[in-house]
Amino acid sequence: MAADRDLEMEDMNLNMDRDMKGELEEEKEMREDRGGKDPLKNKKVHRVVSKWMLPEKVRRTYLERANCLPPPVFIISISLAELAVFIYYAVWKPQKQWITLDIGILESPFIYSPEKREQAWRFISYMLVHAGVQHLVGNLIMQLVLGIPLEMVHKGLRVGLVYLAGVTAGSLASSIFDPLRYLVGASGGVYALMGGYFMNVLVNFREMIPALGIVRLLIIILIILSDMGFALYRRFFVPANGSPVSFAAHIAGGFAGMSIGYTVFSCFDQALLKDPRFWIAIAAYFACVLFAVFFNIFLSPAN
């Protein structure tokens, strides 16, 4: 009996030694992570992103598989393209459009023009051209601040789908509700990102820490009001020597975000193609697209 007890004591001591070694190894790894020796293991940035972008029930899943591969290429690439086009027209091909849109830029092959609607690429490429520094900087700040964290969580394919859905919805809505006006800027895509994020925060408000939830909603509302104010100014109070620009893209992009964007951003840990909400949103979106195409071919005053 004494021998058996001695064996049991030895087994317990061995197990305790193993547990102590395991704890020491874990502490060592945590210290290395905090020291920044292995940036791929350092989840501090991902924790902050998860608190702002995801409801509490899926944060753990995100943190378990969080990485920066691939990096947020889509939003950064789109932003660089928009900046490059602006520099081309403002610096290399001066049109005096640093602050406001000038007549010269309306000849760009990228801008949406009601007289050239048969050039279908203009329904998307207009996002590359901006009315001036204010317009460009505002869109870049909004899409980088919101788009990069969204792309870190949902990856470029989903964010690109929402962004381009907003851009396309913006130009088609403008061709219907403001058919004789030109259209420039990436506001349709930016508002789609904001619309999807806004709905996600609204639906999961209780899970996203109430105080921070209120702050997020107030920030979004403030940005929307300031940007819509500028858009309305460009539309109704443009100088006599300028050209008024449509603002319908803002509203249409927001609705695209609140439908397609919400379903995409709320399916973080689910297969998007298996979610019936996604297909309902896509069906409604394409029904609107078909109506807009029919309107532009047969009913538009621009004809």
Q: Give catalytic residues, as residue numbers.
A: 187, 250
Report cis status (omega within 30 of 0) of the bond before 70. Answer: yes
The residues facing 183 across adjacent strands are 112
